Chains A and B, each alone.
Chain A
Amino acid sequence: MFNFIIKRLLAMIPVLIGISLLLFFMLRMLPGDPAQVLAGQMASVEEIETIRRQLGLDRPIYEQYLLYLSRLAHLDLGRSARTQNPVIEEVWARLPNTMLLAVAAISMACLFGIPAGVISAMRPYTWVDYLVTMASLFGISMPVFWLGIMLVVVFSVILKWLPAGGTGSWQHVILPSVTLASFVVAFIARMTRSTMLETLNQDYTTTARSKGLKENVVVVKHALKNALIPIVTVVGLQFGLLLGGAVLTETVFAWPGLGRLVVDSILARDYPVIQGTILIFGLLYILVNLAVDILYAVIDPRIRYD
């Protein structure tokens, strides 16, 4: 297991290099002087010069890239052109908010998506199944920001039950996480349904039934347990969608997370923060996929990574 984790960590290196290349050239693709771009429009000549020296812009391009990598390794993502704070601090301050939203949304999505998929698969081609299937298709097609707005209209404007935005209490978390969970729940329900349809028709399920086990036990202990691997894969993959969705959801609910930070930075052309936030998003996505791989071994003892 330990060896497997090390192997997976090593396999991350090429992807990380790819990400760093992408972000490095992203800045070089912009018209004009990268030092000026990074320093922002209000920067003084001295500030621009300092950044030019830090980036080594007078040196060959490969040296500039190596310098960039060594700064990344020291977690030096530069300073925000707007606030002059180190980017890593800005990102760090908002990361917990985004994680809170993401974890709440994923938990909610599993809580509703898995049972919906199971029920759907237990009664295939009945009205319950069609209802779940249609609801998931609507969920996938729904613009997440529009759902957020509609939830605000109903629960904040008309009913006045929940706050329309901001942070501070558990009530503030409900609407954003429901919004964010909406399309993930649809994917999880679809995947659960299709894998459960397969496992419910397997020989071991028939054996379990013929032993006289109760239907609930057959479904949960025999069929669902075996269907978990594809479901976990989908949950892991959806985490990426969730990060994309977080950008929109955080904007709707004025939630101070990474998503809003990146949008505000794009609007203000604050490139160090854009680069830093997108890097962190990429890292988070890779780490979640790693966690999913490790989870496989926990869920399915047949999988051995030696």
Chain B
Amino acid sequence: MIEATEKGVCPPPHEFSTDTGLRRFCFKLRRNRAAVAGGIMLLIYLAAALLAPLLVQGDASAPNLMMALETPSPKDPLGTDELGRSILGRIIYGARVSLLIAVGVVAVGLFIGVPLGLVSGYFGGKIDFAIQRATDAMLAFPGFLLALALVSVLGVGIKNTMISIGISMVPQYIRLVRACVLTVRSEVYVEAARAAGTRDGMILWRHILPNVMVPITVQTSLSMGTAILFAAGLGFLGIGVQPPTPEWGTMLGSARNYLFHAPHVATFPGLAILLAVLSFNLLGDGLRDALDPRFKI
């Protein structure tokens, strides 16, 4: 997994709070062709997800056994699966599921990870120690395995897939936010706010959080790609999103049984995953480069 932290994405505080800073950032991002390509691809996925009922005629999950395992044709440009359903239709509807999971996963990660990271970095001491040791224990498991362990407890389905992968991403958010808070904590404006008698909660919300938003944005873009990859992995293993819901990984899981007769069934859902993850990674890399050109990898 790509992490924003490993490339030291924390910008100096206030770098992007001015208009010129923001404009420079947008200019740099626009000049990065790979990032623009990633952004455009993501917009296409988003449009497909939103307009799915208009783009696909009929029910994408309704079987039609007379048409099973057809090769690509003008009627079904990507062919049909083992139950005679249009693969293109299911990929388009699958974009809804995968993007929804990506958003849900990141929401879980942000919702739990950001407050813990803020508290850990700002207050320090025993709270910090406790949160960091818990983070260490979670990081002792590779992300996908942690998600796998959580799914084994929570059970299958879209909601549990989101929660499991989301929780597995929490430690990264904690680490990232904490590292950024530590650099911001001793800034003059924080000292000033404290001297003026502002409550800790308000300092965190009004002064510290806005300054950690930039690295969080980069991490979020990269995490969304990973979330799609993890969700597809769980779906492929049969412990993620369950059929007949169209999910790219689940589609690949069932296509595995027909590799010898109809390899096209497994080809296209995989391409859909690859391009979606690639788009998020291109955009995330572009964001990071625009924020700090020293860390161009």
Contact = CB atoms under 8 A, between A and B. Distances in A.
A157 B260 contact: yes
Given A138-B274, A146-B273, A190-B297, A267 B239 contact: yes
Nearest to B271: A146
Interface in A97-147: 137-138, 140-147
Given A29-B153, A241-B1, A266 B137 contact: no
Interface in A176-203: 190-191, 193-194
B112 to A, nearest CB: 15
A256 interface: no
24 contacts: A18-B136, A18-B140, A19-B137, A26-B153, A137-B278, A137-B281, A138-B278, A141-B281, A144-B233, A145-B232, A145-B233, A147-B270, A150-B266, A153-B259, A153-B266, A153-B267, A157-B259, A243-B142, A247-B148, A262-B145, A267-B238, A278-B141, A282-B141, A282-B145
Interface of B: 1-2, 133-134, 136-138, 140-145, 148-149, 151-153, 225, 229, 232-233, 236-239, 249, 252, 255-256, 259-260, 263, 266-267, 269-270, 273-274, 277-278, 281-282, 285, 296-297
B56 to A, nearest CB: 23
A18 B137 contact: yes
B274 A19 contact: no
Size category of the binding interface on chain A = 35 or more
Contacts of A164: 259
Nearest to B133: A14
A263 interface: yes
Interface string A12-36: 0011011101110010011000000
Contacts of B269: 146
Contacts of A286: 140
A224 interface: no
A152 B259 CA distance: 8
Interface in A200-224: none
Interface in A257-305: 262-263, 265-267, 271, 274, 278, 281-282, 285-286
B281 A193 contact: no
B133 A143 contact: no
A46 B39 CA distance: 60
Contacts of A266: 148, 151-152, 237, 239
Nearest to B150: A26
A52 to B, nearest CB: 20
Interface of A: 14-15, 17-19, 21-23, 26, 29-30, 137-138, 140-147, 149-150, 152-153, 157, 164, 190-191, 193-194, 240-241, 243-245, 247-248, 251-252, 262-263, 265-267, 271, 274, 278, 281-282, 285-286
Contact of B137 (A21, A142, A157, A193): A21
A262 B278 CA distance: 29
B141 A149 contact: no
Contacts of A191: 297
Chain A CB within 10 Å — which of B153, B232, B260 has the most?
B153
Contacts of B260: 157
Contacts of A26: 149, 152-153
Contact of A18 (B1, B133, B153): B133
B137 A248 contact: no
Given A140-B281, A141-B281, A142-B274, A244 B142 contact: yes
Given A15-B140, A141-B278, A149-B252, A248 B236 contact: yes
B145 A278 contact: yes
Contacts of A240: 141-143
A303 B26 CA distance: 42
Nearest to A239: B142
Given A141-B229, A164-B259, A262-B148, 8 more contacts: A137-B281, A141-B277, A240-B143, A266-B148, A266-B151, A266-B237, A278-B149, A281-B141
